[in-house]
A and B are shown apart, each in its own frame.
Chain A
């Protein structure tokens, strides 16, 4: 397997008032293509910051971040935006769907950034909705759907442009156990059958079991790594 991500000596800190808060100090890690990684750790351990760095929504102070053999840490804001659109699908804890759009329109959003024809876009949306099993809810608005259905729509939105990488921030944090298991099962299918590399931040040990391996983060360092049984 080739490395999809390679982080070398990454440093990241924030300034809060006059106080400088160091999140990562020389963090080094690798994530292989096709992997399904769960990242766990206590609050403030740097999980979300790591996800921000991997997703190109935040920049490291120092160090190198390579994606698919190319550095992304030195890209401009505009280049990072284009890189995200082409390579990354995001799944959030609270779904973050646009309430004014139907399910299909929400899924179509990332395709507005492509040069696909309207027909091709409609086909891709239909395929994505079929993958998450909600093709019959295409014309429904988010408020007309359950939390689990909304998260499935969010997953469809994340995969509609066929990115290599899915970044999931507590994707089941707002769902009951049964629905959470369904969502995690869907992610597993995406990883296993479609080859998507998935990096999932979670507090839920049960959710982490769906990943191929789990990384434990504490105070900006990986303290433990375990493979799924």
Chain B
């Protein structure tokens, strides 16, 4: 036996109480890890300093006329441009999760996003040749068990197919896109804009946004000002940003949700702080006599303090490890679905360790100091 074993035994003195505490701490760390991993996932997409995006000045849900793309592509300082439109897709039923389906111009899209589209040449050619084909991120194909060459019906929750009269389009899977962590294509499904544009019942010749490359990052501000100036006072004014800012503004739409969740998690941590702190104080008070005996036997006050503090640390870290473990497991299960894959980033462990340390310290310090100050005479009632 040693001090650690003694701490462990003390921790499990009342198993039900300890289990409830550990579970409550675990849930807080599970939510915390999930949110941090999500934030990290959406903030680490690959960006190029020369890649910029033009979109509606109102917000990214407002479309632009396709003519904007042609004018932007022809502007001085622009090396290559493409356009994208949100299709809003899902497979079979909406319960299976949304798919970020984008209607793109294949050839120009491959120019602007070449670094994230390292796919076999034959798959790329197959996609270019067949207007009713699509490319999907590998995890999406794996999740649904799609094979290359397979005909796959996708539904849109926005548009109606003029040919079929319903919201279903059928696509041939031309290839899959490898999506290492940070890939801008994570979770993506790419379809032909021309095919989409010919078959939609409304919103024809409109595009969502125009990604483009400048000839040099030094020209970014100049090009952005020229584009936005070009469309100033038109029906469709634009806002041009570098890619990183665009990603941030896109994810900022989720910001309020993240803020609410963060506040909830914060409140949960404070509640847990109070619960664990009170319970630890109670647990130490229940052991007043035992602490007195230990001190009588020769355990120093400092050693008793360390043991009580160690106990609260143990509790805190136990909850943190289980919470992070559960988050890692759940994220791993969820990352095969539609949308950008969210990985359990190692940095989350560092954040979790710091919080667990603080939680253990704050909840354990009061009881530990009380145990430290406890006199043998008072503890044993020997007067």
The number of chain A residues touching the other chain, given as a range, is 20 to 34
User: Does A98 reach chain B (CB closer than 8 Å)?
Assistant: yes
User: Does A146 reach chain B (CB closer than 8 Å)?
Assistant: no
User: Does B61 reach chain A (CB closer than 8 Å)?
Assistant: no
A112 to chain B: which residues have CB within 8 Å?
Answer: 1-3, 6, 299
Q: Is the CB of A85 within 8 A of B297?
A: yes
Q: Mark A91-103, 1 if CB is under 8 A from B, else 0.
A: 0100010111100
Contact of A100 among B13, B380, B382 (CB under 8 A): B13
B295 to chain A: which residues have CB within 8 Å?
Answer: 57, 81
B6 to chain A: which residues have CB within 8 Å?
Answer: 101, 112
Chain B residues 240 to 299 lying within 8 A of chain A, measured CB to CB, are 289-290, 293-299
Shortest beta-carbon distance from B360 to chain A in Å = 21
Given the contacts A81-B300, A109-B297, A113-B299, A169 and B290 also touching, CB distance less than 8 Å: no
| Tally of contact residues, B, Cβ under 8 A | 24
**Which stretch of A30-38, A48-56, A204-212, A221-229 is in the interface?**
A48-56
B376 to chain A: which residues have CB within 8 Å?
Answer: 52, 57-58
User: Does A5 reach chain B (CB closer than 8 Å)?
Assistant: no
User: Does B377 reach chain A (CB closer than 8 Å)?
Assistant: yes
By secondary structure, the B interface counts as helix
Q: Mark B9-20, 1 if CB is under 8 A from A, else 0.
A: 110110000000
Q: Is the CB of B9 within 8 A of A57?
A: no
B214 to chain A: which residues have CB within 8 Å?
Answer: none
Shortest beta-carbon distance from A38 to chain B in Å = 18
B12 to chain A: which residues have CB within 8 Å?
Answer: 100
Contact of A55 among B293, B294, B296, B301 (CB under 8 A): B296
Chain B residues 296 to 354 lying within 8 A of chain A, measured CB to CB, are 296-301
Given the contacts A78-B300, A101-B9, A109 and B380 also touching, CB distance less than 8 Å: no
Contact of A82 among B9, B294, B298, B377 (CB under 8 A): B298
Q: Which of A48, A52, A86, A112 has the most CB atoms of chain B within a 10 A radius of its CB?
A: A112
A105 to chain B: which residues have CB within 8 Å?
Answer: 1
Q: Is the CB of B294 within 8 A of A109?
A: yes
Distance between Cα atoms of A31 and B1 in the complex (Å): 36
By secondary structure, the A interface counts as helix
A109 to chain B: which residues have CB within 8 Å?
Answer: 294, 297
Q: Is the CB of A110 within 8 A of B383?
A: no
Chain B residues 364 to 383 lying within 8 A of chain A, measured CB to CB, are 376-377, 380, 382-383
Contact of B297 among A14, A48, A90, A99 (CB under 8 A): A90
Distance between Cα atoms of A145 and B249 in the complex (Å): 70
User: Does A73 reach chain B (CB closer than 8 Å)?
Assistant: no
Given the contacts A112-B1, A112-B2, A112-B3, A100 and B10 also touching, CB distance less than 8 Å: yes
Distance between Cα atoms of A101 and B9 in the complex (Å): 8
Q: Is the CB of B300 within 8 A of A110?
A: no
Write the chain B residue with the least CB distance to A109.
B297
Given the contacts A77-B301, A85-B297, A92 and B380 also touching, CB distance less than 8 Å: yes
A98 to chain B: which residues have CB within 8 Å?
Answer: 290, 293
Shortest beta-carbon distance from A102 to chain B in Å = 9
B299 to chain A: which residues have CB within 8 Å?
Answer: 81, 112-113
Q: Is the CB of A52 within 8 A of B377?
A: yes
Q: Which of B10, B289, B299, B301 has the most CB atoms of chain A within a 10 A radius of its CB?
A: B299
Write the chain B residue with the least CB distance to A96.
B293
B294 to chain A: which residues have CB within 8 Å?
Answer: 109
Given contact pairs A14-B383, A96-B293, A157-B297, a sample of 13 additional A-B residue pairs in the complex whose CB atoms are under 8 Å apart: A48-B383, A52-B382, A57-B295, A78-B300, A81-B301, A84-B296, A84-B297, A84-B298, A90-B293, A98-B293, A100-B13, A101-B1, A112-B1
10 CB contacts below 8 A, A to B, read: A51-B382, A52-B377, A57-B295, A57-B382, A81-B300, A84-B296, A90-B293, A96-B380, A113-B298, A157-B297
